[in-house]
Structure formats: C-alpha cells, structure tokens
Amino acid sequence: MGVPFPRSYPEDTMPFDRTTIATRLTNAGYVPDADLAMALYLMDLLQRPLLLEGEAGVGKTEVAKALAEVHAAPLIRLQCYEGLDASAALYEWNYQRQLLAIKTHERDGVSAEAIEEQIFSEDYLLERPLLAAIRSDTRAVLLIDEIDRADEEFEAFLLELLSDWQVSVPELGTIHATTIPRVILTSNGTRELSDALRRRCLYHYVDYPDEARETRILTARLPGIDQRLAAEIARLVAMVRKEDLRKVPGVAETLDWAAALVGLEVKHLADDPESVHDTLICLLKTQEDQAAMSREVLDRLIGKVA
C-alpha cells in the first residue's frame, strides 16, 4: 500500500526493556536470542502467557528458571502429566486432618456449625501450584511444564484460570488473584494443543541454538571453560546435529559433554580424539546413534573443526 512504514516514534523513546531482559537473562545464565527477548518483553507488556515449543533439550524450562531469577520472583512449577486434575493442580482439602478434627470435636460436643467453620478454613486448605501462584505476595513466575502431556479437559480448565485470574472453591468462595503471575507454558508437541489455548498465548519456537549462541551458552554456564574449546565444541555439536540421528543432542547434552571434556582437561578437540570419542556418551543417547558416530566419522568432523 502507499503508506510508507511509519517512522513517527523517535529512536530514544524506544523501551529499553528487551535489551535489559536479554542482558539480565544472560547474567542469570540463559543466553536468549532476539526473538525470545521480544516475546518475554511482550509477555509483560500485554499480560499474556507465553507458550514455548521446541524439541526436548533446547532449554524451554530453563527460560522460566532464568526469568524467575531476573525478576527475583518465586518460581512455581506445575509439571503436567496424563490424568492431572484440578485437585492436584489447584487445591485440595487436607482430608486426613479434617477427619481427625471431626473425631476430636465429636467428643468435646462442639456444634456442627463450629466444626464446619473450622475444617473448611484456610488452615485445612492445601495449596497446589496454580493457587499458590495467584496467591503469591510477589509476582511469581508460573511454569506450566509439558502442557501437552495433560488432558484436553485440563487445558480448558487452565484456559479459564488464565483469563479470569480467579478460582472458586465451593466451601470458601471465590479467591481472586493477589498478583498476576508471569506464565510460561512449555510443550514438546506430543499432542496438538487446542486452538483456544494457542490463541490466548504468545508463541515462541525455541530452536537449537546456532554456533555463536551455543558458544556463549557454554561460557555462561561453565565459567572455567576455555573460549576456544567452547567454540570448537559448539561447532562440532552443530555438525553432529546435522547428521542423521535418532535423538538429536540438546543444549543440556552439550553442557554435559563440555563439562566432561573440561573435567578431563582436554584443551583442543584435535589434541585428544580418544577422550572426545569416549565422552560421546554424554551427547548420543541411543545405541544406533553411537554406532553411526563411529571413530572415523568423528575424526572427520574433528578435522573440520580444528
């Protein structure tokens, strides 16, 4: 169309938060790419949950941990699994204590109303992650991990909570959120999520880091590592990922492997191919992959790195 791209916002009024978020995340040990920093910034600006998708081991969960550290907020984690229901995610009454209270008060001859008043009070309420997150005094980071493992019914329930920020407990009444948590959902894509949930959330796809970023991740996480070794490891892992493997190594595997190499005092990959080959068990987690990455293949890759 005819209208050129608007340039009405002067450069100096740009919010600096994206870069701040990026630097602080880096300090907290997570090296984000520009898109992720943007998504995290929008999450605060628009008050929407953020849905992170990506292969296993690319560091989705780490995002939440680092974000909690950046904001000095408590991290509340809800690990989803098949059959997860409201009583495990939201709240549950402490039934054992309630039964005990009923029994002891029966002997004292306390009136039924008084007992009821007592056993359905806050003292007998067990907070589960979702309730804990909205009742937190400081704004918590709520990590809903592997949402794709939960059932669809739970997804619908979650959606309701994420839009209203209130929970009704029949015996207590409605509990409103004292603070609205920063919500991060992660998914490995084992099941397709509902469109409603996707629509409610901001979306970011977490990919395997490129070489430069992986080098930075290595130096951030393993302060003792030699800069050149980190670069070599990142380059080799990038090449390994291009091979036809059953289980592509994630960032966590790279970190393990780098830690192993540092521990064995390997300075350069080319110096000690023996140790490199022996420590590949940190990187390749299936028998086929280890067979595919034979000594010859590895030597060829190391040759390219050095």
Partner 1 sequence: MAKTAPAPPPEAAGAAHRAQMMRFLAQLRANRFAIGLSEAQDALKLAAAGLAARPSRLRPALRALACSRRDDFARFDALFDAHWLGRGVRAATRVSGAPDRAPAGIEKMRGQPSGPSAGGMPDHVERRREQAGEDDETGAADARRGGASRAQVLETTDLRHIADPQAIAEVNALAGRLAGALRQRLTRRERLRRRGRRIDLRTTIRRSIAHGGEPFDLAFRKRRDKPLRIVALLDVSASMSPYSAFFLRFLHGLLDHAREADAFLFHTGLVHVSPALKERDPQRALDRLSLIARGFAGGTRIGESLAAFNRQHAARVVHGRTAVIIVSDGYDTGPAEDLGRELASLRKRTRHIAWLNPMAGWQGYEPAAAGMRAALPHLDLFAAAHNLESLAKLEPYLARL
Q: Which residues bind partner 1 (CB under 8 A)?
A: 1, 3, 5-11, 13-15, 17, 34-35, 38-39, 42, 44-46, 48, 50-51, 53, 82-83, 87, 92-93, 95-96, 98-99, 102, 152, 188-192, 195, 198-199, 201-205, 244, 246
Residue placing its CB nearer to partner 1 in the complex, 39 or 234: 39
DSSP string, the chain: --SPPP--S-GGGS--HHHHHHHHHHHTT----HHHHHHHHHHHHHT--EEEE--TTSSHHHHHHHHHHHTT--EEEEE--TT--HHHHTEEE-HHHHHHHHHHHHHHT--HHHHHHHHTSGGGEEE-HHHHHHH-SS-PEEEEETGGGS-HHHHHHHHHHHHH-EEEETTTEEEE-SS--EEEEEE-SSSPPPHHHHHHSEEEE-PPP-HHHHHHHHHHH-TTS-HHHHHHHHHHHHHHHHS--SS---HHHHHHHHHHHHHTT---GGG-HHHHHHGGGGT--SHHHHHHS-HHHHHHHHHHH-
Residue placing its CB nearer to partner 1 in the complex, 31 or 50: 50
Residue placing its CB nearer to partner 1 in the complex, 192 or 278: 192
- Min. distance of Cβ 96 from partner 1 in angstroms? 8
- Min. distance of Cβ 261 from partner 1 in angstroms? 28
Residue placing its CB nearer to partner 1 in the complex, 184 or 262: 184
- Min. distance of Cβ 57 from partner 1 in angstroms? 12
Residue placing its CB nearer to partner 1 in the complex, 10 or 224: 10
- Min. distance of Cβ 4 from partner 1 in angstroms? 9
Residue placing its CB nearer to partner 1 in the complex, 117 or 152: 152
- Min. distance of Cβ 197 from partner 1 in angstroms? 9
- Min. distance of Cβ 176 from partner 1 in angstroms? 21
